Amino acid sequence: MSEQKDLEYAILGGGCFWCVEAIYQLVDGVESIVSGYAGGHDPAPNYRSICTGLTGHAEVIRVGFDPSKISYKNILEIFWEAHDPTTRNKQGNDEGPQYRSIILYENQTQKEIAEASRTEAGPKFASPIVTEIVALEKFFPAENYHQNYFRLNPEQPYCHYVIRPKIEKFLKKKTH
């Protein structure tokens, strides 16, 4: 495990944070993942408030990665495969602005890499990518019960019927 000071971070929203978290837990070089909220105007968001769709926040994950093992660009390549970036405010049955596709960058370099990555990913999809790329103002960690959700609750129906197929699809692509 890398020391915290060696990590870089990517803040990504691709629908339910449980789904995206479960994918990145399988990625070599990812050292930490925190589910949370970002991109909104509420100064103290929580799960109940963001579920209203009125706080402006998206469900996101903060991926801490070792840049000597995986690049920000590679983190984003996985992001495009981990969800459908062509549906506005919707992933599967999850609907609302809290489920939007979003990349929140921490600096100009991340912004440029994210924009180039979105352009490069575009031709892989039948519909236009609607992913927002915006500056990170603040990341708010989600409540403890949202952390490491799939691994702690693999037989919960949402995990079994929604997350598990996404993981299987990701693993199949990864081995080809």
pLDDT digits (tens, 9 = 90+) for 49-102: 999 999 999 999 999 999 999 999 999 999 999 999 999 999 988 999 999 999
Residue 3, domain member (yes or no): no
Residue 81, domain member (yes or no): yes
pLDDT digits (tens, 9 = 90+) for 31-64: 999 999 999 999 999 999 999 999 999 999 999 9
Residue 2, domain member (yes or no): no
- Total domains, the chain: 1
pLDDT of residue 171: 87
pLDDT of residue 55: 97
Coil/strand/helix, residue 117: helix
Whole-model pTM: value is 0.93
Q: Report the distance separating Cα 21 and Cα 63, nearest Å.
A: 8
Residue 76, domain member (yes or no): yes
Residue 175, domain member (yes or no): no
Question: Domain range spanning residue 108?
Answer: 8-167
Active site residue 16: yes
Residue 60, domain CATH: 3.30.1060.10
Confidence of residue 132 (pLDDT cuts 50, 70, 90): very high
Q: Report the distance separating Cα 68 and Cα 86, nearest Å.
A: 31
Q: Rg for the chain (alpha carbons), in Å? A: 15
Residue 127, domain member (yes or no): yes
Residue 172, domain member (yes or no): no
Name the DSSP letter for residue 142: P
